Amino acid sequence: MNTILPILEPAAPPSLTDENDSLRLRDSHGRFITDLRLSVTDRCNYRCVYCRTGTDGARLLRIFVSLGIEKIRLTGGEPLLRHGLLDLIHETAQLRPAFSEQPLDIALTTNGHLLAPLAQPLKDAGLSRITVSMDAVDAETFTRITRVPGSFERVRAGIRAAQDAGLGPVKVNCVLLRGFNDTQIEAFAEFSRTENVIVRFIEFMPLEEDRKWTPESVVPMSEIVARLNAIRPLVPLAANNPSETARRFTFADGRGEIGIIAPVSQPFCGHCSRIRLTSDGSLRTCLFSQSDHDLVGLLRRGATDDDLRTRIRAVVHRKEARHHIGEPGFQQPSRSMVHIGG
Ligand code: SAM
């Protein structure tokens, strides 16, 4: 469903004082919330085996930025299928974070299928960074996963176009699934080095439509590290910021960068700064939330900006301390990844 349409006004200039801490969006666990994942559509042109069997949104974005959001990641579904995406990025780029002097960081996660011709327009519209999801570096395995023939070459061309457009270094996300693509780890390391991209391996989480997740289907971080170390010694890199999800590594010769995102074996909830806005305008405080909170309905019933700010603060205050993947009684979230926005 596409309800997010652009039309934004410039925000107030940044101001930096400790007193601002009481104004910034914060949950009851003391975490500042600075990172908004915006699902711009729940349509997707891939049917990855582990995932599938307007003006209102623009106003919400402005309100979120006024509350301390510093980074917006556009996602979906497949965000490049979204009509008006370039306008949305252009207008979002006019906003200034309320409590930081840095420009708003606008990132996008895409399957890359439609990226090649759009890379330069995305950069020109104001996109800061791009992540491309790519779950294999050989064409046959890739097609087996995405269920779309010819997809590997399209996505690789998209990555190269993004690098040429100045959106590099591109991050390449690979969700590892035991028995599907766990043979690809070493080849991905080589891909990082030859294509000059940051490869990030992600542990598979129970968020798929047909509920196939088992603990055994997860390829844990320890195994990924051991296998990479066996080809070339890994050297840890410092985190870029405290809420960074990936553990970063390079190789001893400094070529290539690998990130490992291990929400299952090494959860990082304690530093979570993320909230999500679904494509139908609901706020989610965790990927694994059992419910979401309708903001667009409130807005259409005449809520003022202050009403919306109050509602957002109240919802964020109750953000979950952590997820419970793998624990007895764990319940899958109320929506699957393609609807939540990854
Ligand atoms: N269509 C876009 C794409 O493919 O990048 C954006 C949406 S997709 C849901 C966002 C990211 O979530 C992708 O990198 C995808 O691999 C990841 N993802 C989807 N289902 C997942 C799962 N069950 N566990 C871990 N990551 C998952």
pLDDT tens per residue, range 296-319: 899 989 999 999 999 999 999 999
Lowest mean pLDDT among 21-25, 208-212, 242-246: 208-212
Predicted pLDDT at 52: 53
Q: Would the CB of 38 count as within 6 Å of ligand 1?
A: no
pLDDT at 51: 62
Atom of ligand 1 nearest to the CA of 206: 23
- Which whole number is the average pLDDT over 195-205? 97
Q: Is 204 in the pocket of ligand 1 (CB under 6 A)?
A: yes
Q: Is the pLDDT of residue 184 over 50?
A: yes
Residue 8 has pLDDT above 50, yes or no: no
Question: Ligand 1 pocket, 151 CB below 6 A?
Answer: no
User: Atom 4 in ligand 1: which residue has the minimum CA distance?
Assistant: 111
Residue-wise DSSP of 230-264 = HHS-EEEE--SSTT--EEEEEETTS--EEEEE-TT
Residues 110-129: tens digit of each pLDDT = 999 999 999 999 999 999 99
Q: Give pLDDT tens digits for 77-100.
A: 999 999 889 999 999 999 999 999
Predicted TM-score of the model (pTM): 0.91
Look at residue 49 in the predicted model and tell me its pLDDT: 64
Q: What is the pLDDT of residue 263?
A: 95
Q: Is 201 in the pocket of ligand 1 (CB under 6 A)?
A: no
- 245 Cβ contact partners less than 8 Å away, ≥ 6 residues apart: 261, 263, 268
Ligand 1 centroid to Cα of residue 12, in Å, is 34
Give the Å distance between the CA of 177 and the centre of ligand 1.
Answer: 13
